[in-house]
Chains A and B, each alone.
Chain A
Amino acid sequence: MTDGHVLEDKSHFRGVWVFLEGRAGGLRDVSTQLIGEGRRLADLRGTPLTGILPGHGVDALAERAIGFGLDRVIVVDDPMLEIYRSRPYAQVMAQLVRRQKPEIVLFGASKNGRDLGGRLHAILETGLAADCVKFDIDADGNLDMIRPSFGGKSLAHILCKKHRPQMASVRRNVFVAPPHNPDRRGEIVHERVELSPQDLDAKLLEFDEFTKEGGLRPEEADIVVSGGYGLGDPKNFQLLQDLADRLGGAIAASRKAVDSGWVPKTLQVGQTGMTVRPKLYIAVGISGAVQHLAGMQESDKILVINIDPKAPLFEIADYGIVGDLFEVLPEMIRQLDALKGGGVAGQPALPAEAR
Chain B
Amino acid sequence: MRIIVCIKQVPKAQELQVDPVTQTLKRVGVPSEINPPDANALEIALTLKDRHPAEVVVLSMGPTSFDESLERAVAMGADRSVLLTDRILGGSDTVPTAYALSETIQKIGGYDLILTGEETTDASTGHVGPGIAGHLDLPQITYVSEVRIVDNTVRARRTAEDGTEWWQTNMPSLCTVNFGCNKPRSPTLTGKIRVKRGGVIVHWSCADVGIDPKKVGLLNSPTIVAKVDTIRLPPRAGRIFSGDAKESVRALLDALIRDRVVAP
The interface bits of chain A over 135-172 (1 if a CB of B lies within 8 angstroms of the residue's CB, else 0) are: 00010000010001111111111111111000000000
A317 neighbours in B (Cβ, 8 Å): 236, 238, 240
Name the segment of A36-44, A67-75, A203-211 touching the other chain: A203-211
Q: Does A255 have its Cβ within 8 Å of any Cβ on chain B?
A: yes
The interface bits of chain B over 217-245 (1 if a CB of A lies within 8 angstroms of the residue's CB, else 0) are: 00001111111111101001111111101
Bound-state Cα–Cα, A349 to B45, Å: 51
Are the CB atoms of A23 and B162 closer together than 8 Å?
Answer: yes
The interface bits of chain A over 283-298 (1 if a CB of B lies within 8 angstroms of the residue's CB, else 0) are: 0000001110000010
Q: Does B106 have its Cβ within 8 Å of any Cβ on chain A?
A: no
Q: Which residue of the partner chain, among B179, B229, B256, contacts A319 with CB atoms under 8 Å?
A: B256
Q: Does A233 have its Cβ within 8 Å of any Cβ on chain B?
A: no
Q: Does B260 have its Cβ within 8 Å of any Cβ on chain A?
A: yes
Q: Does A251 have its Cβ within 8 Å of any Cβ on chain B?
A: no
**Closest residue of chain A to B181, judged by CB?**
A259
Are the CB atoms of B135 and A1 closer together than 8 Å?
Answer: yes
Contact size range, A: 35 or more
Interface of B is mostly: mixed
Q: A87 CB to closest chain B CB, in angstroms? A: 7
**Closest residue of chain A to B142, judged by CB?**
A115
Q: Which residue of the partner chain, among A163, A209, A320, contacts B238 with CB atoms under 8 Å?
A: A320
Are the CB atoms of B133 and A119 closer together than 8 Å?
Answer: yes
Q: B163 CB to closest chain A CB, in angstroms? A: 4
Q: Does B93 have its Cβ within 8 Å of any Cβ on chain A?
A: yes
Are the CB atoms of B263 and A350 closer together than 8 Å?
Answer: yes
Bound-state Cα–Cα, A162 to B222, Å: 7
Q: Does B189 have its Cβ within 8 Å of any Cβ on chain A?
A: no
Q: Does A316 have its Cβ within 8 Å of any Cβ on chain B?
A: yes
A122-B135, A161-B224, A309-B240 known, 20 other contacts, Cβ within 8 Å: A87-B139, A111-B142, A111-B159, A115-B130, A118-B125, A121-B127, A121-B131, A122-B95, A122-B130, A126-B222, A131-B124, A201-B173, A207-B166, A255-B180, A297-B233, A318-B239, A321-B240, A322-B240, A323-B243, A331-B246
Give the interface of A toward B (CB within 8 A). Answer: 1, 4, 23, 86-87, 90, 110-112, 114-123, 125-131, 138, 144, 148-163, 201-210, 247, 255-256, 259, 265, 271-272, 279-280, 289-291, 297, 301-304, 309, 312, 314, 316-324, 327-328, 331-332, 335-336, 339, 349-351, 354
- Please name 30 pairs of A and B residues whose Cβ atoms are closer than 8 Å in the assembled complex, sorted by A: A1-B135, A110-B161, A111-B158, A118-B127, A118-B142, A121-B94, A121-B131, A122-B130, A129-B223, A150-B16, A150-B18, A153-B231, A155-B231, A156-B228, A160-B223, A202-B168, A203-B167, A205-B168, A207-B165, A207-B166, A255-B180, A259-B179, A290-B13, A297-B233, A312-B14, A314-B238, A317-B236, A319-B237, A322-B240, A354-B260
